[in-house]
Chain A
Amino acid sequence: MNSNILSFENVTFTYAPEDETVKPAVKDLSFSIQDGEWIALVGHNGSGKSTIAKLMNGLLFPQTGKVSAMGRMMEEESLWDIRSQMGMVFQNPDNQFVGATVQDDVAFALENNGVPHKEMVLRVKEALHQVKMEAYFDHEPHHLSGGQKQRVAIAGALALRPRLLILDEATSMLDPQGRMEVIETIRELRRATGLTVISITHDLEEAAMADRILVMNAGHKQLEGTPEAVFLSGNQLTTMGLDLPFAMRMTHLLREAGVELEAEHMTEDELVDDLWTYYSRK
């Protein structure tokens, strides 16, 4: 059993290969994702994130290097088979809703893969249950909120029972509540099924929940590691146009204001605990 779900080996991609003045969108990128991991791929707008997403699902092929998924090299012959094992949710909730109603949309990928009708009915129900949208079975997309549409999109991906779920900026157009809904759904899914997830995002609060973060900058991998490790390189992130999580920003500001906190804090509760120790010590 190969536990390597997706890997990039020295991948370089340029939109205009003949023009040497155009910098490659992705430069010599290598990483791999194991079964059951949650990876966040972060970077500001224009850092090469969206190109990577297209390389992951075979919408683009690299000029050099190798992309493989589910233990197979990504090429024309393996493409559809690989795609049937990965689900993808995109940025704009409206532009990926194919079906006329919620249930039709969830069934879309199943129809494409020739799943028999009886089985489809079961899977549509099951997938909508997983994202807690069963009450909206017959709703039309324009009566749903952005967060709800994204949850339907997740259900559409889950219905195929994929091994990998890719969220390509899936929360960036949502209001705070919609963002929470989607993030909660993913956490719940991870708890229940241990599904492998890649979230591509510029929101570091969201990235903080992942097991591992890859930071992209100008087409190459700038940093890689656990959220704690990545956030420790604070200034490097801010110069790249990314924002530290709130608790870390506060830790820095408090230090500037003269409160000598020693550790870095990822969550508000940790910070409050530390402040309390500081307070009770005085």
Chain B
Amino acid sequence: MMEKMIFGRFIPGNSIIHQMDPRAKISFVFVFIAIVFIANSAVTYGILLGFTLLVVFLSKIRLYFLINGLKPVFILLIFTFFLHIFFTREGDLLLDIGFIEIYEEGLRQGIFISIRFLVLVFITSILTLTTSPISITDGIEVLLGPFKRVKLPVHELALMMSISLRFIPTLMDETGKILKAQMARGSDIGSGPMKERIKAVVPLLIPLFVSAFKRAEDLATAMEVRGYRGGEGRTRYRQLDWRFVDSLSLLVLAGLAGMLWYFRV
């Protein structure tokens, strides 16, 4: 189950989207989220959907992987769709079978909300699928830069984030390993009554904590020995490179907003 989820994962590649500056991509996603709410008609939602599919196409991520990997999200989507269909009672009555009554407005709303949901999930997934976690962190650090003035520890936050990201695979492996070791000793998290399952979590969590603390201690030592003294006087190895495509992408987005506004009902 977890293995198949692609939400929040990164697939390396060299598409035009992969090569964009993370700052551009992060800003793009935030602006896009705002723009989505301009749409309110069939044409505008159609434009949004088309635009999103174009982005997916440009990213060279196979649509099949995207759909397959976002399955749990679709369950939520279908749920909201039916919620709208069944509970909106406006417009003409389209269908009436006993206790189920479907109204035109309900169907419209259901479809619109689903599209809105879909494009948001797709675009944010494309961000994480095409941008390495470290680039996202870099982007965020720079974008949050102005907040240093108000004493927001931007450098520390970014470093914490990048170290956490770096250790996720390590800790995932370790969790799997400890889980298996305890399963081999007859502990069973996967089955049995809830009470038993909760009890079975302890032998997993304690070793995980112990090892995480040990790792943290080792890492702190290694960082100190390698001269880490906080953000002051530090130079940056990673330089972000804002290119024409990045400006262009934001221009395209502005164009999209204009178009949506124009066709809005």
Contacts and interface: CB of A to CB of B under 8 A. Distances in A.
A96 to B, nearest CB: 4
A114 B233 contact: yes
B132 A84 contact: no
Interface string B36-56: 000000000000000000000
A142 interface: yes
Contacts of A88: 222, 225-226
A59 B170 CA distance: 26
Interface string B228-263: 110001111111000000000000000000000000
Interface stretch (A14-22, A105-113, A126-134, A174-182): A105-113
A117 interface: yes
Contacts, number: 90
Interface residue tally on B, bucketed by range = 20 to 34
A112 B235 CA distance: 7
B130 to A, nearest CB: 15
Given A104-B237, A141-B166, A112 B228 contact: yes
A141 B134 CA distance: 13
B31 interface: no
B237 A109 contact: no
B236 A57 contact: no
A63 B237 CA distance: 39
A92 interface: yes
A226 B23 CA distance: 58
Contacts of B132: 100-101
A99 B228 CA distance: 13
Contacts of B237: 103-104, 107, 110-111, 117, 120-121, 124
Contacts of B233: 114
B234 A114 contact: yes
A112 B163 contact: no
A109 B215 contact: no
B229 to A, nearest CB: 7
A94 B236 CA distance: 23
Interface in A256-271: none
B193 interface: no
14 contacts: A59-B221, A83-B225, A83-B227, A88-B222, A94-B170, A100-B132, A100-B166, A101-B132, A103-B237, A112-B226, A117-B235, A140-B166, A141-B170, A142-B170
Interface of A: 57, 59, 80, 83-84, 88, 90, 92, 94-101, 103-104, 107-117, 120-121, 124, 140-142, 156-157, 160
